[in-house]
Amino acid sequence: MLLVGFGYEGQESEGRKYWLVKNSYGEQWGEKGYMKIPRGQNNYCGIASYAMYPVL
């Protein structure tokens, strides 16, 4: 999974914030290969604490 962005649905203050994530399953999966994971709630999939990045 690759974190590619973030956003919110409705009013930002309503707490419906999300991370936009791309999966490797192809465009037939999720929303054309992407999914939204709630941001700031329950740390789904460890997205807020187990992020990795390459060192070049």
Would 56 be classed as within a structural domain?
no
Would 55 be classed as within a structural domain?
no
Per residue of the chain (56 residues), give pLDDT as tens: 888 999 988 876 676 889 899 988 889 998 999 999 888 778 777 777 777 778 98
Number of separate domains in the chain:
1
Would 11 be classed as within a structural domain?
yes
Would 38 be classed as within a structural domain?
yes
Range of the domain at 6: 2-46
In angstroms, the CA 35 to CA 23 distance is 8
In angstroms, the CA 31 to CA 16 distance is 18
Considering only CA atoms, which of 37, 35, 53, 33 is closest in space to residue 45?
Answer: 37
- CATH number of the domain encompassing residue 25: 2.40.50.170
